[in-house]
Amino acid sequence: MALAQINWFKYSSPQAFYPLAGRMIPWFATIAALLIGVGLYIGFFVAPTDFQQGQSYRIIFVHVPAAWMSMFLYVVMAIWAGLGLGLNARPSFMMAQAIAPTGALFTFLALFTGAMWGKPTWGAWWVWDARLTSELILLFLYAGVMLLRTSIDDPRRADRASAVFALVGVVNVPIIYFSVRWWNTLHQGASVSMTAAPKMAATMLTAMLVMTLGFWMYSIAVTLARMRCVILERERRSSWGMHHSHREAVEVH
């Protein structure tokens, strides 16, 4: 029995998804807070000091996970956008819409922490290196997706147009990833790879991976919360949506 009888599409209706998201948010938020707490503790108190860069390298425990998440979230957003276009499913578009601001936030965080790390290490806040530049382009792409959505009034067209743009921009993500090999740059080569043994201490790697998981859970929690807002905003004219909007308003006050 089991698999065949479960209605996989039950939660693809906004009305059913709304309470489910509400129940999931506290879980993901708690796990995120725990993981980020543990990750920061390992990163700042357990991991050894780098013999070349001293203490300043510790920013990588925020920088690298943020950079990974910024690219990962763009791909996830593009997948939801593609699903929306392919299946003509409204909740997929809402998901893509809800992910974009978090992705842009992580991109900004990666650029900002990169600048803070670059000043003591390279002696410059900003260098025109391929990876930095590609990350900046990624920020532009997030901005493009969000701006295109807000400048189109008809929600259906806004959904689909920004989905197409997200898919077009996804070509950029592999360019970011391979840019290290394509262009000869100042930025150090990738220290963590799937195939070779990592070139850094095990504790540093643990801290980085824990932080990445923490950021991931944070992204899910925030995306779900934003998804609830998007659902309420779009369903505000239905009797169901009106009922929930009122309840939220009462809870807030």
Please report, as ranges, the residues that interact with another protein according to CB under 8 A: 85, 133, 137, 140-141, 143-144, 147-148, 151-152, 157, 160-161, 164-165, 167-169, 171-172, 175, 183
For residue 87, what are its two tokens? 């299946």
CB of 179 to another protein, least distance (A): 10
Residue 38 or residue 137: which is nearer to another protein going by CB?
137
- 205 torsion bin: left (phi>0), alpha (psi -120 to 50), beta (else): alpha
CB 166 within 8 Å of CB 96:
yes
Residue-wise DSSP of 187-217? SPPPS--SSSPPSS-HHHHHHHHHHHHHHHH
Residue 15 or residue 151: which is nearer to another protein going by CB?
151
User: Of 23, 5, 21, which is closest to residue 13 (Cα–Cα)?
Assistant: 21
CB of 161 to another protein, least distance (A): 5
Residue 160 or residue 234: which is nearer to another protein going by CB?
160
Judged on CB neighbours under 10 Å (0-12, 13-18, 19+), 162 is buried
Residue 41 or residue 182: which is nearer to another protein going by CB?
182
CB of 81 to another protein, least distance (A): 12
CB of 115 to another protein, least distance (A): 20
User: Of 28, 62, 27, which is closest to residue 42 (Cα–Cα)?
Assistant: 62
Residue 92 or residue 223: which is nearer to another protein going by CB?
92
End-to-end CA distance of the chain: 47
CB of 162 to another protein, least distance (A): 8
